[in-house]
Amino acid sequence: MSKVSKKIFIEVEPNLSIHSYEELAALHTISKILAQPADLRDQLEQILQEMSSRLGMERGMISLLDREKKEVWLDVAHDVNIEGLDVTYKPGEGITGEVAQTGRPMAVANLGHATHFLDRTGARRHLNRSELAFLCVPIIYDDHVVGVLSADKVAREVKNLDKELAILSSVAELMAKAVHIRALEEENRRLKKIVGSNRPPSMETIGHSKPMQEVFGLVAQVADSNTTVLISGETGTGKELIARAIHLNSPRHNGPIVQVNCAAIPDTLIESELFGHERGAFTGALQQRRGRFEEANGGTIFLDEVGELSAAAQVKLLRVLQEKRFQPLGSSRVVNVNVRIIAATNRNLEQDILSERFRADLFYRLNVFPIYLPPLRERGSDVILLADHFILKYSKEMGKNIKRISTAAIEVFLSHKWPGNVRELENCIERAVLLSNSDTIECMHLPPSLQAKEKELDKKERGKLSSVVEAQERSLIIDALEEVAGNQTKAAKMLGTTKRIMQYKIAKLGIDPKFFRKKNKYAHAAE
């Protein structure tokens, strides 16, 4: 529903050359509105007001697309009272649902004859629909439908439906990024209301993306058993939190959970660390010590970075997994343990088996129930949800009142690849909260690497906007020159500017006025 092919996108791209001067002025004002650092909802409301005052488009509405449910919900409206209303459209339902589903604009010349127009807001209940035309276009960002823009117009003022759809599509194109971010913000706000309702209450991990919902489902399935679990994923994805969630939602939740960082233990101490030792078992062993397995008896042992164990340590661990008992170093006593094993790794253990770096028999003992944690870059709007969580956490710790993240900073967060995953995001937010002296996280508060990303995005967006404006200016000037047979003074007067500015624009855009004089001459000769 939300994916739009390149072919479709090209077909609905507005024809810039048919925009009038008044329409170009409206687009320019809308661009200025979007360039201001303001609340996204306020910006969208201002745009709908501009559409009404300059373009004659009344009862403008912006609907957002829920990517998971594939439904569209009404978010912002002008001259329509939507307070307390929850207006949604399923795929293909009504004109709005159909535009969202197909990614193609639609227009109705006479609403009185439109049987599939639903009017769920009731805004036209007391109006004569036969006097109204209805226009509806998709809002497309990164080749995906992210929302729908619609408006009414007095039918007698509509001379050409295609022309009306073209200007509305131009507005939709300018607001696409703002609507995309607004959709993510609103989706997170709605999801926050149901945090914890579809997963165990003691789950500490935050996420509403489809990959994370799948992880939560696996956790719920395996928690009640004693099955060995292997959690894999990049560094910083939260493997420890998932291990803790499995333990806390298991029958062993009253027992201990003991964490072992396998990468931090030297080979010479691994046996002592895991299984304990007797006094005098080796040089420096001044007293008896219980090992981590014995400490975890009746609970869970979490073997973090298990892929970093040496070959010798792998053999010893395999024996314990097979026999469920061991002898402490330097002791003749046998310790029986009732321990659940949860292991985690950021390595590709199957590849390590092929290179003989990891034992295949140990891998199959650990990989009874695998859980893969996706990297943050694959979790979509979870980035903003997590950022909000960390803002609350560090605002409380530092005694600050941070309420929001600026739109520019959100854009940076969504475009960053997050090689350090959730851990990198948390460090970034902690730094930003520390630096911020207002209630908002701005780009200037982000680490230098992300600030560089913000400059790249800004340059890219400015380039896109300038190319749109330049194309519109070029088409207007060419139309004017054609009208007056290349006379720059008359063209300037027609467009409400000076001859000097007209000459500057003609030179900048590479337009040759002589061409239009010749064209006009040949036209007369042909007559």
Q: What would the pLDDT profile of 352-390 be if each residue is shown by its tens digit?
A: 999 999 999 999 999 999 999 999 988 877 888 888 889
pLDDT at residue 367, as a whole number: 92
User: Would residue 453 count as lying in a domain?
Assistant: no
pLDDT at residue 484, as a whole number: 85
Average pLDDT over residues 285-310: 85
pLDDT at residue 10, as a whole number: 31
How far apart (Å, rounded) are the C-alpha atoms in residues 188 and 43?
Answer: 19
What is the CB neighbour count within 10 angstroms for residue 60? 26
User: Would residue 199 count as lying in a domain?
Assistant: no
**129 and 249: one domain?**
no
Query: Is 80 exceeded by the pLDDT of residue 318?
Result: yes
CA torsion, points 22, 25, 29, 30, in degrees to nearest 10?
70
Q: Which of 267, 265, 235, 262 is nearest to 342 (CA)?
A: 262
Average pLDDT over residues 110-122: 81
CATH of the domain at 412: 1.10.8.60
User: Would residue 521 count as lying in a domain?
Assistant: yes
Report the DSSP beta bridge partners of residue 140: 145
**232 and 303: one domain?**
yes
Instruction: Give pLDDT tens digits for 386-439.
Output: 888 899 899 999 999 888 888 778 878 888 889 999 999 999 999 999 999 988
Spell out where 418-481 has E strands: 440-441
Q: Are 28 and 47 in contact (CB under 8 A)?
A: no
**437 and 472: one domain?**
no
**369 and 383: one domain?**
no
Find the largest Cα–Cα distance for the chain. 115
**115 and 184: one domain?**
yes
User: Would residue 118 count as lying in a domain?
Assistant: yes
Between the alpha carbon of residue 308 and those of residues 302, 317, 344, the distances in Å are 14, 13, 10
Query: Is 50 exceeded by the pLDDT of residue 218?
Result: yes
For residue 429, the number of C-alpha atoms closer than 13 Å in the C-beta half-sphere is: 30
Instruction: Give pLDDT tens digits for 452-486.
Output: 655 555 555 554 455 555 666 777 788 788 788 88
CATH of the domain at 123: 3.30.450.40
User: Would residue 205 count as lying in a domain?
Assistant: no
> Count of domains in the chain?
4
Please tell me which residue, 65 or 187, carries the higher pLDDT value: 65
Written as one string, the DSSP assignment of 337-367 is ---EEEEEESS-HHHHHHTTSS-HHHHHHHT
Q: Which of 224, 149, 134 is nearest to 183 (CA)?
A: 149
How far apart (Å, rounded) are the C-alpha atoms in residues 162 and 113?
Answer: 19
How far apart (Å, rounded) are the C-alpha atoms in residues 502 and 481?
Answer: 10
pLDDT at residue 523, as a whole number: 44
**64 and 127: one domain?**
yes
Instruction: Give pLDDT tens digits for 250-296.
Output: 999 999 999 999 888 877 777 778 887 676 555 555 566 778 888 99
**140 and 186: one domain?**
yes
Tokens 């964490």 appear where?
259
User: What is the extent of the structural domain holding 468?
Assistant: 459-526
Instruction: Give pLDDT tens digits for 4-39.
Output: 533 333 333 444 445 677 788 888 888 888 887 777
Spell out where 43-131 has E strands: 58-66, 71-77, 88-89, 106-108
Instruction: Give pLDDT tens digits for 37-64.
Output: 777 888 899 999 999 988 999 999 999 9
Final residue in a domain of this structure, among 411, 446, 481: 446
**258 and 388: one domain?**
no
pLDDT at residue 397, as a whole number: 92
User: Would residue 202 count as lying in a domain?
Assistant: no
Give first-to-last CA distance, the chain, whole Å: 53
Query: Is 80 exceeded by the pLDDT of residue 116?
Result: no
- Token duo for residue 219: 């956790």
How far apart (Å, rounded) are the C-alpha atoms in residues 57 and 52?
Answer: 5
CATH of the domain at 470: 1.10.10.60
